[in-house]
Structure 1
Amino acid sequence: MVRFFKGLSGWKGRGAIIAIALALLVAPRLITAAPLDMLDGGDARAVIDPAEESDANFPGSAFFFAEGAFDPAPGVETVKTAHVLGLDAVKAAPAAVFRGDTALDSYRALNCLTSAIYYEAGNEPEDGQRAVAQVVLNRVRSPLWPNTVCGVVYQGSERTDFRCQFTFSCDGAMARVPMAAAWARARRVAADALAGQVYAPVGLATHYHTLAVRPDWSGSLRAVAVIGAHIFYRNPGFNGTEAAFRDIYLGRETISGPARTSWPARPVRAPAELLAPPAPLFAAPSVPAARGWSPPPVPLPVDDGLPQSTIRPEYRNSGRPLI
């Protein structure tokens, strides 16, 4: 090495020494910049975060990538798959075949259950759709609900206060034309469920709601699992045991759709500043009121629970026309 550096004399030698020094400085950076899977001899395609895969994402799927978010109590063995997070020990619903008395009854049951699956879980993985179907059939077998598939699906659809059992049946969602491919998928899930295919992870659940809301009744029921974009619950006490699901399917589907064929629009409560008359730009001259005449009453503002405007009073008329 000494002889090598002695031979590097003059400008050429100094240039070579500088090049060697730069190489020694840059080499470690080049090594650390290499992907770790290449250094280990692995395949870069094998190291993919499952949360980034398109087929593993759906509304609410972030909950399934949250480690420990829904861990059950110690000692409770629950189901845990790609789209199912068990919250409690479950017992599968009793198996049953739901066959109508006539071909028309069977067709109506299939169509009603398909509608529930499509409008409630049309964009979810199959686990989410099968769970919704099982809840409907659990209600058919329970004395707390009607003994027909269509009766359960469209219970309360005659109401005008939007308090039906399944919101799609009374909020106008069915006015949208279904997508053919998604409808066929939901229909296949419905056919399997009616043929006796039990979806065990949902257990004896009879209620569910989306991850985006928390209804008042959820605190009085037992959470069973998070499946797809919904949390599923079963009744406490006897109504949540297998013995309570012994009702016989009647087999006569007398209805085939919601009781209403048109749905009223949800009332929209206007903000208080829209109900009150606009503030005048210029002060109007005072005119004495005519005898026997009184100004019409000003409508009282409605408290809609929204935060009040923070715009200063002198700027509230900005943008309004002068006439």
Structure 2
Amino acid sequence: MRRIWLAMVAVLLVIGAGMSAHAALRVISERNAARDRAMVAADARAAALGSTVFADQETAAPAAGVTGTIDLPDLPIPAGVALDSGVVPARPFSMAGASAIDRDRARQCLTAAIYYEAASEPDAGQQAVAQVILNRARHPAFPGTVCGVVYQGSEHAGCQFSFACDGAMARVPARAAWVRAARAAGMALAGYVYAPVGLATHYHTYAVTPAWNRSLVMTDVVGAHFFHRWKGYWGTSAAFNQRYVGGEPVPGPHRDIQPLAPPTPEMIAAAGAAAVAAASAGETAAVTPSVPVAVAKSSPVPSKPAAAVVTDMLPPESQILDRWKDSGKPLK
């Protein structure tokens, strides 16, 4: 009987312990769920804040090896556009119909970008950087030329690629590395597509995490760079509809041209007074009678005979008289 009693007590203790454990697990689960909800809400607030900042201003490259970003175009999104699934390769870049000057300038600009942004990267890393630049040239948010994309923002020290503003171009390029970058640029401009990065328009290195990182979708990691594309429609192949038509600007950072200041009221008044004075002087000259001026007649000056024109490079003719030529006697 005592054994039965002890067995019943043990069973009750096991049941009580199980119920306590279950209740504890339920409390822990509810606490974790609440923490997850709070984290999701915080991420949503941060993403909304980031997208607001992103939509209001252009952001320059924060450091070397990182692209800047720019406002999305204020254009209507076509209805019924299907979003891409996965990483979609870009279409081959075409310069058909471009002039020789456009081709040369595009090659110079793309070579410089590859060299200063990815000189130490493997071939795949250089091709990926070139693909980002050509993807931008096709996107309506960016300039429609290769040089325009590479040196965008350099006129106000807000470069999309840091090398165009940080003085890196003052260093003389290493010849072998420049030739290698030029080869990657030539391949990309000839239509080679580096498919793994897809429609990426941004990248950054391991060392830097830019502010736009959360608002984009990562497509690949190549070498030391993470590559990203925009979310939604603006990151789909349908959005990359900007056709290349040439018109490449001069390679190099854009010059900062200050706009002309509007004329002040003082300047306008002075210009008006000068115009009135000039008009008054003209009227006075018109009514003043002209005084005849005596012109002295000059006697004709006898003209000198024109010098003989030398038509060859031979020495001048001898001045010795004919009777003394070949005589062998010295002149006295």
TM-score calculated relative to the size of structure 2 = 0.50
1:224-272 residue CA offsets vs partner (Å, 9 max, x unmatched): 11111110000000011000111101211122111259xxxxxxxxxxx
Distance in 1, Cα, partners of 2:202 & 2:97 = 25
Which residue in 1 is equivalent to 2:30?
none
Distance in 2, Cα, partners of 1:222 & 1:165 = 19
Select 1:208's aligned residue among 193, 198, 203.
203
User: CA contact under 8 A between 2:93 and 2:188: conserved in structure 1?
Assistant: no
Question: Could you tell me how far 1:89 is from its partner in structure 2?
Answer: 3.2
Q: Percent identity among equivalent residues?
A: 60
For 1:192-271, list aligned pairs within 5 A.
Answer: 192-260=187-255
User: CA contact under 8 A between 1:170 and 1:260: conserved in structure 2?
Assistant: no
Distance in 2, Cα, partners of 1:211 & 1:202 = 16
Distance in 1, Cα, partners of 2:90 & 2:113 = 19
For 1:1-323, list aligned pairs within 5 A.
Answer: 89-99=86-96, 101-160=98-157, 163-260=158-255
In structure 2, the gaps of 5 or more residues are 1-64, 66-84, 257-332
Question: Could you tell me how far 1:140 is from its partner in structure 2?
Answer: 0.5
Give 3-state SS (helix, strand or coil) of 2:126's partner. Answer: helix
Question: Could you tell me how far 1:107 is from its partner in structure 2?
Answer: 0.5
Higher Cα radius of gyration: 2
User: CA contact under 8 A between 1:159 and 1:170: conserved in structure 2?
Assistant: no
Distance in 2, Cα, partners of 1:150 & 1:206 = 15
1:56-98 residue CA offsets vs partner (Å, 9 max, x unmatched): xxxx9xxxxxxxxxxxxxxxxxxxxxxxxxxx93110012323
Cα separation, partners in 2 of 1:152 and 1:99, compared to 1, 3 Å = farther
Distance in 2, Cα, partners of 1:119 & 1:228 = 15
Cα separation, partners in 2 of 1:145 and 1:95, compared to 1, 3 Å = same
User: CA contact under 8 A between 1:100 and 1:252: conserved in structure 2?
Assistant: no
Instruction: Provide the aligned C-alpha RMSD in A.
Output: 1.7
Structure 1 residue runs of 4+, over 2 Å off? 98-101
Distance in 1, Cα, partners of 2:172 & 2:154 = 19
Give 3-state SS (helix, strand or coil) of 1:158's partner. Answer: helix
Distance in 1, Cα, partners of 2:155 & 2:97 = 24
Question: Could you tell me how far 1:101 is from its partner in structure 2?
Answer: 2.7
Question: Could you tell me how far 1:117 is from its partner in structure 2?
Answer: 0.3
Amino acid paired to 1:178: P
Structure with greater proportional helix content: 2
Amino acid paired to 2:153: G
In structure 1, the gaps of 5 or more residues are 1-59, 61-87, 262-323
Give 3-state SS (helix, strand or coil) of 1:209's partner. Answer: strand
Query: How many residue pairs end up in the alignment?
Result: 173
